[in-house]
């Protein structure tokens, strides 16, 4: 079925193909990168407060999206939105707090690490990896990942965490400490 669609697309004139590309670029995304990243920062802060207090559950401010839905939406946006949206994601700097060298990628990896501190082993790890995969399927973001040795290590640590069935949690903790 996919081959038929590709063949139909390739049979169209170059002008028609260019119009489709322009339409795709003009399509506006549901939410800007700042929406997802600000929400992830709220989750990170809530996890930090939870671990400091030794509480069993984290308390989120009203209006904060649940992490699962937020990560699903982010993964879809990273896969389907324009290249400029991905550049904005990578270049994002929070209004408050310290500047981040790799913007949204730093925030996503920080959230992944905080989930481990929180002791959560659930579908959110899988969703984080899907977000990373969507980023790595993009030439612009892949360049950012490869350019930063520390960032590449962070991505690999996230992948190792999800694959801890064969690597073991001790290896993951060693990677974080080194």
pLDDT score for 166 = 33
Would the pTM count as exceeding 0.75?
Answer: no
pLDDT in tens, 115-141: 766 666 568 878 888 888 888 787 777
pLDDT score for 126 = 81
pLDDT in tens, 12-22: 888 887 777 66
Domain chopping of the chain, boundaries: 32-177
pLDDT score for 26 = 53
Q: DSSP letters of 63-111?
A: TPPPHHHHHHHHHHHHHHS-HHHHHHHHH---SSS---TTTHHHHHHHH
Alpha-carbon distance of 55 to 118, in angstroms, equals 10
pLDDT score for 35 = 94
Q: Pick out the chain residues at pLDDT < 50.
A: 149, 164-178
Contacts of 46 (CB under 8 A, 6+ apart): 58, 59, 60, 64
Return the DSSP state at 32. -
pLDDT score for 168 = 40
Q: Which residue has the tokens 């990560």?
A: 71
């Amino acid at each position: 079925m996919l081959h038929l669609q590709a063949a139909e697309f390739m049979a169209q004139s170059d002008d028609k193909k260019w119009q489709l590309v322009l339409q795709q670029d003009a399509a506006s995304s549901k939410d800007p990168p700042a929406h997802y990243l600000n929400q992830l920062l709220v989750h990170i802060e809530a996890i930090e407060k939870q671990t400091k207090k030794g509480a069993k559950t984290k308390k989120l401010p009203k209006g904060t999206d649940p992490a699962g839905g937020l990560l699903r939406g982010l993964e879809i946006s990273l896969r389907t939105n324009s290249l400029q949206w991905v550049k904005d994601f990578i270049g994002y700097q929070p209004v408050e707090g310290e500047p981040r060298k790799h913007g949204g990628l730093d925030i996503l990896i920080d959230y992944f690490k905080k989930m481990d501190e929180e002791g959560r082993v659930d579908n959110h790890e899988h969703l984080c990896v899907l977000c990373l995969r969507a980023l790595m399927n993009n030439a612009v973001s892949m360049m950012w990942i490869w350019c930063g040795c520390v960032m590449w290590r962070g991505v690999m640590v996230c992948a190792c965490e999800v694959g801890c069935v064969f690597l073991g949690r001790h290896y993951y903790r060693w990677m974080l400490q080194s």
